[in-house]
Amino acid sequence: MIKIGIIGGSGLDNPDILKNPSHLEVKTPYGDPSSPLTCGDISGVPVAILARHGKNHSIYPSGVNFRANISALKEYGCTHILAATAVGSLREEIEPGHLVFPSQFIDFTRKREVTFHDKGEVVHTPMAHPFCPNLRALYAESAKSLGLDYHDNKTVITIEGPRFSTQAESHMFRGFGADIINMSTVPEVILARELNMHYASVAMSTDYDCWREEEEPVTWEMILNTMKNNADKVINLFTNVIPKVAEYSDVCKG
Protein backbone atom coordinates (compact mmCIF):
# COMPACT_ATOMS: atom_id res chain seq x y z
CA MET A 1 0.00 0.00 0.00
CA ILE A 2 1.26 3.46 -0.92
CA LYS A 3 1.63 5.92 1.96
CA ILE A 4 3.23 9.31 1.43
CA GLY A 5 5.34 11.16 3.96
CA ILE A 6 5.74 14.91 3.51
CA ILE A 7 8.64 16.52 5.33
CA GLY A 8 8.00 20.23 5.37
CA GLY A 9 10.20 23.19 6.05
CA SER A 10 8.96 26.64 7.02
CA GLY A 11 5.29 27.17 6.10
CA LEU A 12 4.84 23.77 4.45
CA ASP A 13 3.42 21.74 7.34
CA ASN A 14 -0.11 23.03 6.88
CA PRO A 15 -2.74 20.42 7.84
CA ASP A 16 -5.37 22.22 5.74
CA ILE A 17 -4.16 20.38 2.64
CA LEU A 18 -5.30 17.08 4.21
CA LYS A 19 -8.77 15.57 4.37
CA ASN A 20 -9.76 14.38 7.86
CA PRO A 21 -6.50 15.47 9.55
CA SER A 22 -5.46 13.98 12.88
CA HIS A 23 -2.30 14.05 14.97
CA LEU A 24 -0.27 10.99 15.86
CA GLU A 25 2.55 10.83 18.40
CA VAL A 26 5.21 8.34 17.32
CA LYS A 27 8.02 7.01 19.51
CA THR A 28 11.14 5.66 17.84
CA PRO A 29 14.29 3.87 18.99
CA TYR A 30 16.14 7.11 18.14
CA GLY A 31 14.06 9.42 20.30
CA ASP A 32 11.21 11.77 19.47
CA PRO A 33 10.73 13.11 15.94
CA SER A 34 10.64 16.86 15.39
CA SER A 35 6.85 16.92 15.55
CA PRO A 36 3.83 14.65 15.80
CA LEU A 37 2.67 13.30 12.45
CA THR A 38 -0.29 15.13 10.95
CA CYS A 39 -2.15 12.34 9.18
CA GLY A 40 -4.97 12.38 6.66
CA ASP A 41 -5.35 11.89 2.93
CA ILE A 42 -4.95 13.75 -0.34
CA SER A 43 -7.05 12.49 -3.25
CA GLY A 44 -7.66 9.31 -1.30
CA VAL A 45 -3.96 8.63 -0.69
CA PRO A 46 -2.84 8.29 2.96
CA VAL A 47 -0.41 11.09 3.86
CA ALA A 48 1.60 11.99 6.98
CA ILE A 49 3.16 15.45 7.35
CA LEU A 50 6.17 15.98 9.61
CA ALA A 51 7.54 19.44 10.46
CA ARG A 52 11.31 19.10 10.09
CA HIS A 53 12.18 21.96 12.42
CA GLY A 54 9.23 21.56 14.78
CA LYS A 55 5.81 23.18 14.61
CA ASN A 56 7.24 26.54 15.70
CA HIS A 57 10.54 26.22 13.82
CA SER A 58 12.34 25.83 17.14
CA ILE A 59 14.93 23.21 16.07
CA TYR A 60 18.08 24.49 14.40
CA PRO A 61 19.37 22.51 11.39
CA SER A 62 22.04 20.40 13.09
CA GLY A 63 19.71 19.81 16.04
CA VAL A 64 17.11 18.00 13.92
CA ASN A 65 16.79 14.34 14.93
CA PHE A 66 16.84 13.09 11.36
CA ARG A 67 16.97 9.42 12.37
CA ALA A 68 13.85 9.78 14.52
CA ASN A 69 12.03 11.67 11.75
CA ILE A 70 12.70 9.06 9.06
CA SER A 71 12.10 6.21 11.49
CA ALA A 72 8.72 7.70 12.51
CA LEU A 73 7.56 7.89 8.89
CA LYS A 74 8.77 4.34 8.25
CA GLU A 75 6.95 3.05 11.32
CA TYR A 76 3.76 4.75 10.12
CA GLY A 77 4.15 2.78 6.90
CA CYS A 78 5.31 5.50 4.51
CA THR A 79 6.73 4.15 1.28
CA HIS A 80 7.58 7.51 -0.32
CA ILE A 81 8.86 10.81 1.04
CA LEU A 82 8.21 14.15 -0.64
CA ALA A 83 10.57 16.62 1.02
CA ALA A 84 10.31 20.40 0.79
CA THR A 85 13.38 22.51 1.49
CA ALA A 86 14.46 26.13 1.15
CA VAL A 87 17.73 26.58 -0.74
CA GLY A 88 20.09 29.28 -1.83
CA SER A 89 20.90 29.45 -5.53
CA LEU A 90 24.49 29.07 -6.68
CA ARG A 91 23.61 29.57 -10.36
CA GLU A 92 22.40 32.66 -12.21
CA GLU A 93 19.60 30.81 -13.98
CA ILE A 94 18.08 29.46 -10.74
CA GLU A 95 16.18 32.55 -9.69
CA PRO A 96 14.46 33.14 -6.34
CA GLY A 97 11.02 31.53 -6.52
CA HIS A 98 12.13 28.78 -8.91
CA LEU A 99 11.76 25.13 -7.92
CA VAL A 100 14.66 22.68 -8.17
CA PHE A 101 14.56 18.88 -8.18
CA PRO A 102 18.06 17.72 -7.22
CA SER A 103 19.47 14.41 -8.40
CA GLN A 104 22.76 14.54 -6.46
CA PHE A 105 24.05 15.86 -3.15
CA ILE A 106 27.39 16.90 -1.70
CA ASP A 107 27.71 16.35 2.05
CA PHE A 108 29.48 19.26 3.74
CA THR A 109 28.10 18.46 7.21
CA ARG A 110 30.40 17.35 10.01
CA LYS A 111 28.51 16.40 13.18
CA ARG A 112 25.27 14.64 12.31
CA GLU A 113 24.14 11.05 12.77
CA VAL A 114 24.19 9.94 9.16
CA THR A 115 23.31 6.22 9.34
CA PHE A 116 21.05 3.66 11.00
CA HIS A 117 23.86 1.12 10.59
CA ASP A 118 26.16 2.26 13.40
CA LYS A 119 25.84 -0.95 15.41
CA GLY A 120 26.09 -4.62 14.50
CA GLU A 121 26.68 -5.62 10.90
CA VAL A 122 28.37 -3.02 8.73
CA VAL A 123 26.14 -2.05 5.81
CA HIS A 124 27.38 0.00 2.86
CA THR A 125 24.36 1.54 1.15
CA PRO A 126 24.72 2.40 -2.56
CA MET A 127 24.30 6.15 -3.01
CA ALA A 128 25.20 6.80 -6.65
CA HIS A 129 21.63 7.93 -7.34
CA PRO A 130 20.26 9.10 -3.99
CA PHE A 131 17.00 10.71 -5.15
CA CYS A 132 14.21 8.57 -6.62
CA PRO A 133 14.29 9.21 -10.40
CA ASN A 134 10.64 8.27 -10.81
CA LEU A 135 9.47 10.80 -8.23
CA ARG A 136 11.67 13.43 -9.87
CA ALA A 137 10.07 12.63 -13.24
CA LEU A 138 6.61 13.08 -11.70
CA TYR A 139 7.72 16.40 -10.18
CA ALA A 140 8.89 17.63 -13.58
CA GLU A 141 5.74 16.44 -15.33
CA SER A 142 3.50 18.14 -12.78
CA ALA A 143 5.56 21.35 -12.65
CA LYS A 144 5.33 21.64 -16.42
CA SER A 145 1.56 21.09 -16.41
CA LEU A 146 1.14 23.70 -13.63
CA GLY A 147 3.30 26.26 -15.46
CA LEU A 148 5.92 26.44 -12.71
CA ASP A 149 9.53 27.51 -13.28
CA TYR A 150 11.72 24.55 -12.38
CA HIS A 151 15.16 22.99 -12.82
CA ASP A 152 15.81 19.25 -12.82
CA ASN A 153 18.92 17.12 -12.38
CA LYS A 154 20.83 19.56 -10.16
CA THR A 155 23.25 19.12 -7.23
CA VAL A 156 22.54 20.32 -3.70
CA ILE A 157 25.27 20.88 -1.13
CA THR A 158 24.24 20.63 2.53
CA ILE A 159 26.13 22.59 5.20
CA GLU A 160 25.78 22.52 8.97
CA GLY A 161 24.34 25.96 9.65
CA PRO A 162 22.72 27.73 11.29
CA ARG A 163 25.02 30.42 9.93
CA PHE A 164 25.04 31.20 6.23
CA SER A 165 28.11 30.84 4.00
CA THR A 166 30.95 33.27 3.72
CA GLN A 167 31.51 34.69 0.25
CA ALA A 168 34.66 32.58 -0.11
CA GLU A 169 32.71 29.42 0.78
CA SER A 170 29.93 30.29 -1.62
CA HIS A 171 32.41 30.62 -4.50
CA MET A 172 34.06 27.36 -3.41
CA PHE A 173 30.75 25.50 -3.45
CA ARG A 174 30.11 26.77 -6.97
CA GLY A 175 33.52 25.41 -7.91
CA PHE A 176 32.52 22.02 -6.47
CA GLY A 177 29.72 21.86 -9.04
CA ALA A 178 26.88 22.50 -6.60
CA ASP A 179 23.84 24.32 -7.96
CA ILE A 180 21.92 24.99 -4.73
CA ILE A 181 22.76 25.06 -1.03
CA ASN A 182 20.79 24.17 2.10
CA MET A 183 21.07 22.83 5.65
CA SER A 184 18.66 19.87 5.64
CA THR A 185 18.95 17.40 2.75
CA VAL A 186 21.80 15.44 4.37
CA PRO A 187 21.39 13.07 6.14
CA GLU A 188 17.64 12.98 5.46
CA VAL A 189 17.99 11.49 1.98
CA ILE A 190 20.67 9.02 3.13
CA LEU A 191 18.51 7.67 5.95
CA ALA A 192 15.49 7.31 3.67
CA ARG A 193 17.56 5.32 1.21
CA GLU A 194 18.85 3.08 4.01
CA LEU A 195 15.25 2.19 4.86
CA ASN A 196 14.36 1.62 1.19
CA MET A 197 12.00 4.58 1.01
CA HIS A 198 11.56 6.52 -2.22
CA TYR A 199 12.75 10.05 -1.50
CA ALA A 200 12.88 13.17 -3.64
CA SER A 201 13.21 16.85 -2.75
CA VAL A 202 11.39 19.89 -4.01
CA ALA A 203 13.80 22.73 -3.31
CA MET A 204 12.59 26.30 -3.45
CA SER A 205 15.22 28.87 -4.35
CA THR A 206 14.88 31.78 -1.93
CA ASP A 207 18.04 33.80 -2.61
CA TYR A 208 21.43 33.87 -4.36
CA ASP A 209 23.43 32.92 -1.24
CA CYS A 210 26.27 35.49 -1.18
CA TRP A 211 28.40 34.71 -4.25
CA ARG A 212 26.55 37.29 -6.37
CA GLU A 213 28.17 40.47 -5.17
CA GLU A 214 25.50 42.83 -6.50
CA GLU A 215 22.89 41.11 -4.30
CA GLU A 216 22.29 41.82 -0.63
CA PRO A 217 23.67 39.06 1.62
CA VAL A 218 21.04 36.47 2.48
CA THR A 219 19.07 36.88 5.71
CA TRP A 220 16.55 34.65 7.46
CA GLU A 221 13.88 37.32 6.93
CA MET A 222 14.57 37.22 3.18
CA ILE A 223 14.10 33.44 3.14
CA LEU A 224 10.85 33.58 5.13
CA ASN A 225 9.41 36.25 2.86
CA THR A 226 10.17 34.28 -0.32
CA MET A 227 8.84 31.07 1.21
CA LYS A 228 5.63 32.77 2.29
CA ASN A 229 5.09 34.21 -1.18
CA ASN A 230 5.81 30.93 -2.97
CA ALA A 231 4.74 28.14 -0.59
CA ASP A 232 1.57 27.57 -2.64
CA LYS A 233 3.74 26.43 -5.56
CA VAL A 234 5.13 23.53 -3.53
CA ILE A 235 1.74 22.65 -2.03
CA ASN A 236 0.12 22.64 -5.48
CA LEU A 237 2.94 20.49 -6.83
CA PHE A 238 2.61 17.96 -4.01
CA THR A 239 -1.18 17.72 -4.31
CA ASN A 240 -0.78 17.21 -8.06
CA VAL A 241 1.94 14.58 -7.72
CA ILE A 242 0.51 12.47 -4.89
CA PRO A 243 -2.36 10.83 -6.82
CA LYS A 244 0.08 10.14 -9.67
CA VAL A 245 2.43 8.32 -7.27
CA ALA A 246 -0.46 6.09 -6.22
CA GLU A 247 -1.68 5.60 -9.79
CA TYR A 248 1.75 4.81 -11.17
CA SER A 249 3.20 3.15 -8.08
CA ASP A 250 4.44 0.28 -10.22
CA VAL A 251 6.99 2.64 -11.83
CA CYS A 252 8.21 4.06 -8.52
CA LYS A 253 10.64 1.27 -7.79
CA GLY A 254 13.91 3.11 -8.51
207 catalytically annotated:
yes
DSSP state of 57: T
Predicted confidence band of residue 231 (pLDDT cuts 50, 70, 90): confident
Q: Tens digits of per-residue pLDDT, 159-213?
A: 999 999 999 999 999 999 999 999 999 999 999 999 999 999 999 999 999 998 8
**Number of residues in the chain:** 254
Question: Which of 32, 107, 207, 250 is flagged as catalytic?
Answer: 207
Nearest-angstrom CA–CA distance, 234 and 240: 10
Determine the pLDDT at residue 208. 92
Q: Tens digits of per-residue pLDDT, 47-95?
A: 999 999 998 889 999 999 999 999 999 999 999 999 999 999 999 999 9
Q: What whole-number percentage of the chain has pLDDT above 90?
A: 80
CA 36 → CA 72, 114, 189, 222, distances in Å?
A: 9, 22, 20, 28
Determine the pLDDT at residue 53. 93
Q: What whole-number percentage of the chain has pLDDT above 70?
A: 94
pLDDT at residue 141 tops 80: yes
Determine the pLDDT at residue 10. 52
Determine the pLDDT at residue 222. 74
Residue 248 carries which side chain, given as an amino acid letter? Y
Q: Which of 67-76, 152-161, 227-236 has the lowest mean pLDDT?
A: 227-236
Task: Assess contact for 60 and 43: CB atoms under 8 A.
Answer: no
Summary mean pLDDT of the chain:
91
Question: Which of 13, 16, 41, 209 is flagged as catalytic?
Answer: 209
- The residues with which 106 forms a beta bridge, in sequence order, are 157
Instruction: Tell me how many degrees the CA angle 132-138-139 measures, rounded to the nearest 5.
Output: 90
pLDDT at residue 253 tops 70: no
pLDDT at residue 223 tops 80: no
Nearest-angstrom CA–CA distance, 99 and 92: 14
Predicted confidence band of residue 225 (pLDDT cuts 50, 70, 90): confident
Nearest-angstrom CA–CA distance, 243 and 240: 7
Nearest-angstrom CA–CA distance, 71 and 92: 37
What are the DSSP E strand ranges found in 43-173?
45-51, 80-89, 99-108, 150-159
Average pLDDT over residues 210-232: 77
Three-state DSSP at 76 gives helix
Q: Which CATH number is associated with domain 4-118+125-251? A: 3.40.50.1580
Q: Which of 53-57, 86-90, 101-105, 138-142 has the lowest mean pLDDT?
A: 53-57
209 catalytically annotated:
yes
DSSP state of 198: E
